[in-house]
Amino acid sequence: MKNIIILLCILLSSSLKAQSLNSFSETIKIFNDEKSTQTCDSLMINYRINQPKLIKNYTSVQIQKIFNRREEYLLGLHVGKREYALSIEKKDNGCHHFSLNIIFNADIYLANETLHQKCTYLRTRDHEFQHFIFEVDEIKKKNEWILNILKYNKTSYQIDNPPYKKSYYDQSVIEIESGFAIRNKKKHESIDTKENYFKEQLSCPEHETSDFIETVSFNKLFRN
């Protein structure tokens, strides 16, 4: 039961896609002191979180193959996707105001073999949903480190010069995505341990675990 985050290509000044009715959004403003020539840049983050999609029509083996996983008995998988749109406004005083839009979508894969085992299905769903919560909680923070990335990269790119602006956008988004991955890594790993898997497994009847292993083993031989 692992977590995967996929970096999508940057959406340069494009309109955000239509969202599902189950999504929610918020605006976070992070401003620095405009009286200082060193810290006069400002940032506004708009984020939208969509309800995760449950996908149940793949067997454990098929999920492993799709995402190149090596777990022998994979119950579920969380796959998150962040999309970004960044715009820059230069002020009269030479400072820059950054607007960053973040959309987070997630797919939660639940092995088809769990569907007939209520307890195993529910604990797997809750486990993968916790991965989703980790990602959402990090996005909702007042992430001032994002402004630091945008400010620092100004020293390497002439962001007011159109030929260099796309390179600035691309590099900044790569670093922002990496920043989220680093901040979430330990949280994801904390629930993806053998000890935690065993603890979660104890909450369900023993026969469900043996039935799941037997079904997955059968599917490996005959269904792939």
Half-sphere CA count of 174, side-chain side, radius 13 A: 7
pLDDT in tens, 117-151: 889 999 999 999 999 999 999 999 888 899 999 98
Closest-CA residue to 96 (of 88, 108, 87) = 88
**According to the model, what pLDDT value does residue 192 have?**
92
pLDDT in tens, 179-221: 999 999 999 999 999 899 888 888 888 777 676 666 656 566 5
Residue 57: other Cβ atoms inside 10 A: 9
Residue with tokens 């006069």: 40
Q: How confident is the model at residue 3 (pLDDT cuts 50, 70, 90)?
A: low
| Number of structural domains in the chain | 1
The model's pTM is 0.80
| CA–CA distance, 142 with 102 (Å, rounded to integer) | 13
Residue span of the structural domain in which 142 resides: 2-222
pLDDT of the residue at 145: 93
